[in-house]
Amino acid sequence: MNQRFAKGLVSAAWGLAAVGILIVLWELYKWVGETTNIPLPANYDDASMPHIWVILGGFFEPEVRGSDTAVWQTVAAGAGRSLLIAVGGFVIGVSIGLLLAILMERSQLAERSLLPYVIASQTVPLIALAPLVVGIGNRIKIGEFQWTQTQSVMLIAAYLAFFPISVGALRGLKAPTAAHLELMRSYAAKPNAILWKLRFPSSIPYLIPALKVSAAAAIVGTVVAEISTGARGGVGRLIVEYAREATSQPGKVYVAVFGAALLGLIGAGLVTLIDVIATRNLPREGVA
Amino acid sequence: MKIGKFSANASVRAVGFAAAAALVLSACGGGDTATEEVVVEEEVTAVAEECASLTPVKLQLQWFVQAQFGGYYAAKDKGFYEEECLDVTILEGGVDIVPQTVLAQGNADFAISWVPKALSSREQGAAITDVAQVYGRSGTLQVSWADSNIKTSADLKGKKVGNWGFGNEYELFAGITKAGLDPAKDVQLVQQQFDMQALLKREIDAAQAMTYNEYAQVLEAVNPDTGALYQPEDFNVINWNEEGTAMYQDAIWASTERLASDADYQDTTQRFVTASLKGWIYCRDNAQECADIITANGSKLGASHQLWMMNEVNKLIWPAPAGIGVIEPALWEQTVTVALGTKNLEGATIVTEAPSPEAYTNEYVEASLAVLTAEGLNVTGEGFTPITVELKEGGN
């Protein structure tokens, strides 16, 4: 336990050091730009690269003058909302991805006919997809339920998230060696039993990295879809709105960008949690 | 939050609106919005009783809620749409949402779009018709430092000229061409970001700006030399309305096919145009209240920026000698001429042939103006005087 604690402390220290180094590099770049004549590739002035303390100050400014809400509160609320949408998209995407993988593993025909479309699906640019989803969504009304942009954004996030899972899980489900499969067959195991008792556990080493990629895709998908469709309330829209004010308040947009980055960290953290729970019974070494 | 000056003809009514404004203000201050909602709901039910039923209508905007669309939000919040038995849902735009496409695909009933962009979509197959030309003037400027002495498009020769591209450059190119210059050779064109830092940092000599948005952003920035905000005297602007290459901008577009064949839709269009124009008339006379309505609807723009935008938008509409919304053939022709004749850097024009006659109609707007005039409303904005808006740092 003590050793683990020390290990955690060390990695936390490394994380903080990385942030510190980033801050130092940022300010160093500005300082080099301002005091020397060395030509630099990107602008270093206060409007393009505000000082770190200006950005930090931006967190605590009121969102609009006279309001009690500080920028960080709005961004936190927006990030929270985006996180919920991303988690929803992630869950939907992972479910669909797993179903597709199981289907493709079961049937050669399904694999041959579906896999090309699964891959092709990721080549559709968001700029074409977003208006389509929003447009069709506007027409959906079932009883009291009216499809809104929240659902559109979630669907786009799911669309980006299902791909890594379906490909990763397919690879994982096929991972058991012939010897393992033959053993199961010698027990006269039904395909479902093979799936749950053999294929699924042995796919976990492939699933975890796929889940990480998926989670990142869901979060990026949410933020980009919010920008693309203008969906209200999330951190993506805040980035667009604050970027418009960059002429006079360059620090503000960085607060929203920080919020988006925080989302990514939380997403990675959640998947690590899944990893720890899912792999707790697996041997630490020699995982195929 | 400070309430700006009302225009002369609105000041009489100002007192009456103080209560309403106070409600809205308390709502944005995070106060109790319940009272306000109750009031609105009562109005809706009261009106709904007079209508047999409310026709659901979807309106697609080009961008997020902001004073650029003040009239529609005012018509919704003040109950003008309900009076016309319409239940209007306003759909906000986004970076990749093209309103005229949304309309053409039947995912909205009406759309707000600039005329040149809509004409281009029409040529690519979107069957849409301009039923009310709300903005009578173009709001696009080319802003430059006063010491650069760029006062007309001829002065752009040899300068670094920022533009947004994506179809926003045609007025500029037409202006440059009209001055006898070649946009490809005689000026140095620079792709511009959507903020104005490039101009303030003097990376470019002239920057594209909307009167109601980017120009205000410049005037909301602090001049490091004086410590105070930049002043209009620090800049020159080229106004395409004066240069004669202005193109029609925000208009209400409807589905051509449904206008031709669907009597219910014709009726809905008539009522929608009437109520929308009434909203714009309301915003002319109550700029501050309209700015507050927009903020209450979720706009993140600062109070002074919002009011500035409302006031500048009013200037693009009023006075409207032929009546608000009327498409004036001369200006329509000018828009089409520029759209047909001006090449961008890739050599493309906005349209390759003149738009068909169904591209616009004054039928609905004229009937609406008759109704509004009969109600005693001033539809031409004769004697309109804009208010004076004092911009605060950052637009707050």
ipTM score of complex: 0.77
Residue with the larger pLDDT of the pair A42 and A231: A231
Which chain B residue's Cα is nearest to A47? B197
Q: Which residues of A touch B395 (CB under 8 A)?
A: 245, 248
What is the tens place of the pLDDT at every residue in B216-238? Answer: 999 998 898 999 999 999 999 99
**Cβ neighbourhood burial of B179 (10 Å; 0-12, 13-18, 19+):** middle
Q: How confident is the model at residue B15 (pLDDT cuts 50, 70, 90)?
A: very low
Distance from CA of B102 to the nearest CA of A (A): 6
Residue B63 at interface with chain A, using a CB cutoff of 8 Å: yes
In this structure, the dihedral spanned by the alpha carbons of residues A94, A97, A103 and A109, taken in order and rounded to 10 degrees, is 180
Average pLDDT taken over every residue of chain B: 87
In whole angstroms, give the CA distance from residue B299 to residue B335.
31
Q: Is the CB of A130 less than 8 angstroms away from the CB of B63?
A: no
A45, A238, A245, B164, B312 from B214: Cα distances, Å: 20, 18, 9, 12, 12
| Phi, psi torsion values for A280, nearest 5 degrees | -65, -25
Q: Which residues of B touch A68 (CB under 8 A)?
A: 29-30
CB contact residues (below 8 A), chain A span 45-64, against chain B = 45, 47-48, 63-64
In chain A, where the domains are located: 1-49, 62-278
pLDDT score for A66: 59
Distance from CA of A85 to the nearest CA of B (A): 18
CB contact residues (below 8 A), chain A span 243-272, against chain B = 243-250
| Phi, psi torsion values for A248, nearest 5 degrees | -110, -20
Select the residue of B91, B105, B195 nearest A243 (Cβ to Cβ). B195
Residue B5 at interface with chain A, using a CB cutoff of 8 Å: no
What is the tens place of the pLDDT at every residue in A44-72? Answer: 877 778 888 888 888 887 776 656 788 88
Distance from CA of B311 to the nearest CA of A (A): 19
The yes-or-no verdict on residue B46 having pLDDT over 70 is no
Q: Is the CB of B302 less than 8 angstroms away from the CB of A65?
A: yes
Structure tokens at A16: 């903080």
Residue B25 at interface with chain A, using a CB cutoff of 8 Å: no
pLDDT score for A283: 66
The yes-or-no verdict on residue B26 having pLDDT over 80 is no
What is the tens place of the pLDDT at every residue in B131-173? Answer: 999 999 999 999 999 999 999 999 999 999 999 888 788 899 9
In whole angstroms, give the CA distance from residue A209 to residue A225.
24
Residue B302 at interface with chain A, using a CB cutoff of 8 Å: yes
The yes-or-no verdict on residue B215 having pLDDT over 70 is yes
Q: Which CATH class is domain B8-136+248-395?
A: alpha beta
Q: Is the CB of B298 less than 8 angstroms away from the CB of A238?
A: no
Alpha carbons within 13 A on the beta-carbon side of B266:
9
In whole angstroms, give the CA distance from residue B123 to residue A93.
38
What is the tens place of the pLDDT at every residue in A182-216? Answer: 999 999 999 889 999 999 989 998 999 999 999 99
Interface mutation vs chain B, best among A49, A64, A148, most B CBs within 10 Å: A64
Q: 3-state class of A146 per DSSP?
A: strand
Distance from CA of B300 to the nearest CA of A (A): 7
Domain spanning B140-243, CATH architecture: 3-Layer(aba) Sandwich (3.40)
pLDDT score for A286: 47
Q: How confident is the model at residue B94 (pLDDT cuts 50, 70, 90)?
A: confident
The yes-or-no verdict on residue B33 having pLDDT over 70 is no
In whole angstroms, give the CA distance from residue B109 to residue A62.
38
Q: Is the CB of B64 less than 8 angstroms away from the CB of A241?
A: yes
Q: Is the CB of B396 less than 8 angstroms away from the CB of A64?
A: yes
B319: cis peptide before it, omega within 30°? yes
Residue with the larger pLDDT of the pair B112 and B35: B112
pLDDT score for A284: 58
Select the residue of B96, B196, B300 nearest A241 (Cβ to Cβ). B300
In chain B, where the domains are located: 8-136+248-395, 140-243
Domains B8-136+248-395 and B140-243 share a fold: yes
What is the tens place of the pLDDT at every residue in A217-260? Answer: 999 999 999 998 888 889 999 998 888 887 777 788 888 998 99
Q: Is the CB of A244 less than 8 angstroms away from the CB of B217?
A: yes
In this structure, the dihedral spanned by the alpha carbons of residues A82, A230, A164 and A75, taken in order and rounded to 10 degrees, is -30
Bridge partner residues of B209 (DSSP) = B141
Task: Say yes or no: domain A62-278 is CATH 1.10.3720.10.
Answer: yes
- Which range has the worst mean pLDDT, A47-56, B299-308, B368-377? A47-56
- Which range has the worst mean pLDDT, A131-140, B43-52, B316-325? B43-52
Average pLDDT over residues B61-71: 95
* Amino acid identity for residue B186 in this structure: D
Interface mutation vs chain A, best among B69, B89, B92, B95, most A CBs within 10 Å: B95
Interface mutation vs chain B, best among A146, A226, A248, A255, most B CBs within 10 Å: A248
Q: Is the CB of A228 less than 8 angstroms away from the CB of B218?
A: no
Residue B31 at interface with chain A, using a CB cutoff of 8 Å: no
